[in-house]
Amino acid sequence: MRIQLLAAAVVLAVAGAANIAAAQGVDPRPPNNPEQKPALPGQTDAPETKSNVAFDVVTVAEGLQNPWSLAFLPGGKMLVTERPGRLRVVSADGTLSAAVAGMPAVFSRGQGGLLDVVLDPAFAKTNLIYWSFSEPQADGTNNTAVARGKFVDEATAPRVDAVQVIYHQRPSLNSPLHFGSRLVFGRDGTLFITQGERSIIPGRMQAQKMDSGLGKIVRINADGSIPKDNPFVGKEGVLPEIWSFGHRNVQAATLHPTTGELWESEYGARGGDEVNIARKGKDYGWPTIAYGIEYRGGPITGGLTQQAGMEQPLYYWDPIIGPSGMIFYTGTLFPAWKGNLFIGGHGTSDLVRLVIEGEKVVGEERLLKDLQPKPERIRDVRQGPDGAIYMVTDSATGRIIKLVPKKG
């Protein structure tokens, strides 16, 4: 009888441990705020869903200083940004060019510097590239900015000509943090610019203010003008470039391959990283509602996670992953991953794969947790023309790497 009771206790203990593991999803760390509950079923801790896809990690280029973003040029070359302010051309064999000439000065302290880079959708005709950067001001303040220029690929001296700064976030603040800065062209040719609220309290509190660009995703035309169908055009006291508001720091964004809507992932504090669909005119809550806690502990604002008129995230993490860079995979090299959402885990040094059904996350997997020669922080994720998944790793000796099907 005693043996039977012991066996039953063991079974119950194992079952309880399994239930706890299932409740925690793929991350064994406890939440920063265990008292908070999701507002929607499946909004956090999706079950671990292993695809069992075999792949190799290939180094494409190395010797980069804090690379932040990459873009694919016709003919097999790439552009890569380095946060200290350099734009480099990467040849197909991984050779790095000298710094591209003609780039404007950047504020390169903290999280600031040269950030995202994308090609004009009509690059074959225009040779235009667009980049985001932290822009220094004469009074010591700084802000997110976007510029464009004509890329001239000369073998020994690449350059950009006719540079125009087409967007300045306003107001400027004295902060080295939360520049956001992903650039995504919509299907209609307009340009989405993701931003942060600069982290410091005077900036944070402007994420809900409509006469401020802080904590906003904005939408402009390719020449910097304002699209007439933006949600707040013509409204007094509201910046006409605003697309959505109440964001904290958005460093991951991409278009949904079917709907064409802008999906984004943004940093929380200690907990509260989010995945959202950034919809026209919507309020995403920061800092009024949020999951997680402050960096130093304690509730964020009033400790609320829900409020009428404010959007809930489709999915959130507590503890955080530090989302930076994201793609929906649409290639053919990895059929099992088609339609999955990949997000760089800058805070967890891994690649997060989310299985999406409609607008719901139904599974999660963490890849590259044992990336060698050392754990590396993923800053950007892109799908290459070859169908491989490319990433840049953020360190003083950063790399461009790619995932390809395992040989054999």
Residues 387 and 331 sit within 8 Å (Cβ to Cβ): yes
93 Cβ contact list (under 8 Å, min separation 6): none
| Mean pLDDT across 39-54 | 97
Task: Please report, as a single letter, which amino acid is at residue 233.
Answer: V
What CATH number should be reported for the domain holding residue 279? 2.120.10.30
Q: Answer yes or no: is 39 within a domain.
A: no
Overall number of domains in the chain: 1
d(CA 301, CA 288): 6
Question: What share of the chain in percent tops pLDDT 70?
Answer: 94
Full domain range(s) for residue 272: 46-405
- What are the DSSP calls for 258-290, one per residue? TT-PEEEEE--BBB-EEEEE--TT-B--TTTB-
Q: What is the CA radius of gyration of the chain?
A: 22
Q: Answer yes or no: is 3 within a domain.
A: no
Classify 390 as helix, strand or coil. strand
Confidence of residue 141 (pLDDT cuts 50, 70, 90): very high
Residues 159 and 134 sit within 8 Å (Cβ to Cβ): no
Say what the pLDDT of residue 17 is: 36
Q: Answer yes or no: is 199 within a domain.
A: yes
Confidence of residue 25 (pLDDT cuts 50, 70, 90): confident
Classify 119 as helix, strand or coil. strand
| Mean pLDDT across 384-405 | 97
Look up 178 and say whether it is catalytic: yes
Q: Answer yes or no: is 30 within a domain.
A: no
d(CA 392, CA 70): 8
Q: Which residues of 138-174 are buried (b: 16+ CB within 10 A; e: fewer)?
A: eeeebbbbbbbbebebeeeebbbeeeeebbbbebbbe
**DSSP classification of residue 387:** S
Q: Exactly one of 168, 178, 247, 346 is catalytic; which is it?
A: 178
Task: Please report, as a single letter, which amino acid is at residue 277.
Answer: I
Three state DSSP letters for 33-90: CCCCCCCCCCCCCCCECCCCCCEEEEEEEEEECCEEEEEECCCCCEEEEECCCEEEEE
Q: Answer yes or no: is 23 within a domain.
A: no
Q: Answer yes or no: is 35 within a domain.
A: no
Tokens at 136, concatenated? 């220094």
Question: What share of the chain in percent tops pLDDT 90?
Answer: 91
| 270 vs 3, more confident | 270
With a cut of 50, say whether residue 6 has pLDDT above it.
no
pLDDT digits (tens, 9 = 90+) for 274-323: 999 999 999 999 999 999 999 999 999 999 999 999 999 999 999 999 99
Say what the pLDDT of residue 138 is: 98
Q: Answer yes or no: is 366 within a domain.
A: yes
Confidence of residue 372 (pLDDT cuts 50, 70, 90): confident
Q: Answer yes or no: is 395 within a domain.
A: yes
Tokens at 158, concatenated? 């690449």
Residue 299: C-alpha distances to residues 35, 199, 201, 269 (Å): 11, 16, 15, 11
d(CA 213, CA 190): 18
pLDDT digits (tens, 9 = 90+) for 165-212: 999 999 999 999 999 999 999 999 999 999 999 999 999 999 999 999
Confidence of residue 24 (pLDDT cuts 50, 70, 90): low
Residue of 391, 354, 351 lying closest to 368 (CA atoms): 351
Instruction: Please give the model's pTM, rounded to 2 decimal places.
Output: 0.94
Residue of 275, 281, 342, 345 lying closest to 312 (CA atoms): 275
